[in-house]
Structure 1
Amino acid sequence: MNDRMLQVEGLTKQYRGQRRSEWIRAVSDVSFDIRRGEVISLVGESGCGKTTLGRCLVRGLKASEGRCMYYPEEGAPVDIVSAGHREFKRVRKDIQLIFQDPYSSLNPRMTVFDIISEPLRANFKLSRRELEERVASIAEKTGLNPSYLQRYPHAFSGGQRQRIGIARALVTNPKLVVCDEAVSALDVSIQAQIMNLLKDLQEQLQMTYLFISHDLSVVEHLSDRVAVMYLGRIVELAPKSELFTRPRHPYTEALLSAVPIPDPDGKRERILLDGEVPNRAAPPSGCSFHPRCSYRTERCALEQPKLREIAPGHLAACHYAEELMLRSTHEQVKENVTSEAG
């Protein structure tokens, strides 16, 4: 069986700007793969294009360019970008999305049973009894009381509503689930419960996750690999342990400096980036990050770096990725502990 589940090549999503001749690229020439059974996380600040990319992968949005090849366990691969309706319908049940907002993503006029069973009715021909069995089974797995299935969403808390959203996404027994900021709208205590639930379900149901988040502390607990996005491009992609201990891109270094330290007495120098995120309608020349990078040189303003392999499995889009000695989260904590001990 092919270990690769999804292969993204040159994916681009652009929108027309205020002027007819103006085009804004939300996602620009992104390429990466997703392997079966892994959790790969996509991180970056708000507006970097990670949610747009995730929705293109489930065809919630139509990509402007590129390919997104899905390799099912049986049958021929399908290009999600260019597939016709009939061809895509064959694999639609395998790829599902968990939305960010547990309040606006549930139809207030539908019961919990109808919400969860809707994907089953769209993708399978099941009897009423079969529907009830499938819904009751996934409700139990996601921690929902089956006696609540005839209630409406307003009767539930945010955490319970997100469990309903998770049950709806998983009821078709998907192979790939895109989790779009699935815990960011929840209280911290509830976040931990939902994260543990997602991890347990992934192991039980043998699923693959693309986990989208702006919070690296959340990502560290769930991921096998992490991709960092900036201004519509992936600037670093690496195994989790590699990225957190040996970042290769200055933007990743800045993100890691913002991760909270568990020790209340711990100290860390926060890296504050220069300026604002560039205008997408008029992106900077060369490296898109260079106007905010403290390591920039003249080359950075002239030449756009390619995403390339720096070490086995570790890719970065920086001209000086091999040379820079960037600070990691763990190194900063270790330095603080050592200095206090001295």
Structure 2
Amino acid sequence: MAEPLLKVEELTKLYPGERKDSPVQAVGGVSFEVQRGEVFSIVGESGCGKTTLGRCIVRGLEASSGRVLYTPADGGTVDFLRAEKRDFKRLRKDIQLIFQDPYSSLNPRMTVFDIISEPLKANFKLSKQELEERVTAIAQKTGLNPQYLRRYPHAFSGGQRQRIGIARALVTEPQLVVCDEAVSALDVSIQAQIINLLKDLQEQLKMTYIFISHDLSVVEHVSDRVAVMYLGRIVELSPKKELFARPLHPYTESLLSAAPVPDPDGKRERILLEGEVPNPADPPTGCHFHPRCRFRTSLCETKVPELREVLPGRMAACHYGEELMLKGIDKG
């Protein structure tokens, strides 16, 4: 297999707790690889650490430990988190972020042209004409009318604002884009348009996505591989088709059982989890999921399960991953 575009190794993010000796672990030793040209999705319920992980990868937040190894097209792998100032400035344009909220992520005092052109001014030395051409080109690709570029964000709808955010992220022609809940704030009808736009742009511009979402129907539509997070850790990592057909972790099974059924007459057994999501400041011993798992044993309460290959190409952090026959989504 070719060298991955991005390799995340034991990435951890800690926040100060109520006591100095007990920090809150938002992301706990996460590792995975992202291949060139794929859509790698990270899914989980609110508070699982997926957004924090995404922002640490792009250096929007400072990771507490770990490495993010990025291999640009010209070779020469670099730890993006510890890149020297010169290297970081050169690589910054290659890894971009699309924010969740299309309202608060745009500066209301800047025109759309200024918002989209800002990354170009920061990363390239372009003439006024070159700047105009680049901004106009990406506006057209993202479905924005170039005649409206001198307007301010308040003049646009939520879907149009998200197109502005996408144009801003893609104008530097990045290799990797982290989409942080990029459609969750939009109406369902607009979501479909933005998802299709992102897929079309990926093919046109030969990009790679890390797609962060809590919506399994969106994840199923866009993904090549899926990582499921729970309480700051990846509990399952599989190709999309296999994960939806037969999950290997009980938490993934529960998430899939909650996905909407397209057929109004269709029925799916809802697997309800016991209790609440544990406090990350005081996580359970052993497997963090064991207080809510119907398959738990004494081993789960005492020993932390490693994320390991349970089936070829499929990883799960469960002591009984090989033995459990969990229910996926039946496409028949």
TM-score using structure 2 length: 0.98
For 2:111, the aligned partner's letter is: T
Show the counterpart of 2:171. Answer: 171
Partner residue of 1:267?
Answer: 267
Partner of 1:143: 143
What runs of 5+ residues in structure 2 fail to find an aligned partner?
Answer: none
In 2: Cα distance, 1:298 partner to 1:75 partner? 48
Matched with 1:211 is: 211
Task: Show the 5 A alignment for 1:115-194.
Answer: 115-194=115-194
Following the alignment from structure 1 to structure 2, what is the Cα–Cα distance between the partners of residues 104 and 156?
Answer: 13
Q: Tell me if 1:290 matches 2:302.
A: no
Q: Look up the match of 1:226.
A: 226
Q: Residues 84-138 of structure 1, C-alpha deviation per residue, up to 9 Å, x if partnerless?
A: 2222112110000000000000000000000000000011111111000000000
Matches of 2:217 and 2:85 in 1, distance apart? Answer: 39
Instruction: Report the CA distance between 1:20 and its aligned residue.
Output: 2.1
Give the equivalent residue in structure 1 for 2:195: 195
Q: Paired residue for 2:27?
A: 27
Correspondence 1:43 to 2:31 = no
- Distance in 1 between residues matched to 2:72 and 2:106, nearest whole Å: 29
Structure 2: distance between partners of 1:252 and 1:266: 20
Sequence identity of aligned pairs in percent? Answer: 74
**Residues 1:4 and 2:18 are matched in the alignment:** no
Is 1:304 the counterpart of 2:304 in the alignment?
Answer: yes
SS at match of 1:26: strand
Given the superposition, is the C-alpha separation of residues 117 and 167 from structure 1 closer, same or farther in structure 2, using an over 3 Å criterion? same
Could you tell me whether the CA contact under 8 Å between 1:78 and 1:88 is conserved in 2?
no
Secondary structure of the structure 1 residue equivalent to 2:5:
strand
Aligned residues: 332
Q: Which stretch of structure 1 is more off in the superposition, 189-198 or 1-10?
A: 1-10
Instruction: Provide structure 1 residue ranges, at least 5 long, that are not aligned to the other structure.
Output: 335-342
In 1, the alpha carbon distance for the partners of 2:324 and 2:88 equals 44
- Counterpart CA distance in 2 for 1:2 and 1:94 is 19
Alignment partner of 1:258 is 2:229:
no
Shift of 1:3: 3.7
Q: For residue 192 of structure 1, give the secondary structure of its aligned residue in structure 2.
A: helix
Q: Which residue number corresponds to residue 71 of structure 2?
A: 71
Secondary structure in structure 2 of the residue aligned to 1:41: strand
In 2, Cα distance between equivalents of 1:134 and 1:303: 54
Over 3 Å counting, the alpha-carbon distance change for 1:245 and 1:322 in structure 2 is same
Counterpart-to-counterpart distance in 2, 1:60 and 1:250? 32
Given the two structures, how large is their TM-score scaled by the length of structure 1? 0.96
Aligned to 2:86: 86
C-alpha separation in 1, matches of 2:33 and 2:251: 22
1:114 aligns with 114
Counterparts of 2:173 and 2:328, CA distance in 1 = 38
AA aligned to 2:113 is F
Structure 2 residue matching 1:173: 3-state secondary structure = coil
| Counterpart-to-counterpart distance in 2, 1:147 and 1:228 | 42
Range moving further from structure 2, 178-187 or 303-312? 303-312
Q: CA RMSD in A?
A: 1.0
Task: State the one-letter code of the partner of 2:256.
Answer: L
The equivalent residue for 1:338 is none
Q: Deviations over 1:282-320 (max 9, x none)?
A: 110000000000010000000000000111210000000
What secondary structure, in the 3-state scheme, does the structure 1 residue paired with 2:82 have? coil
2: CA distance between counterparts of 1:280 and 1:210?
A: 24
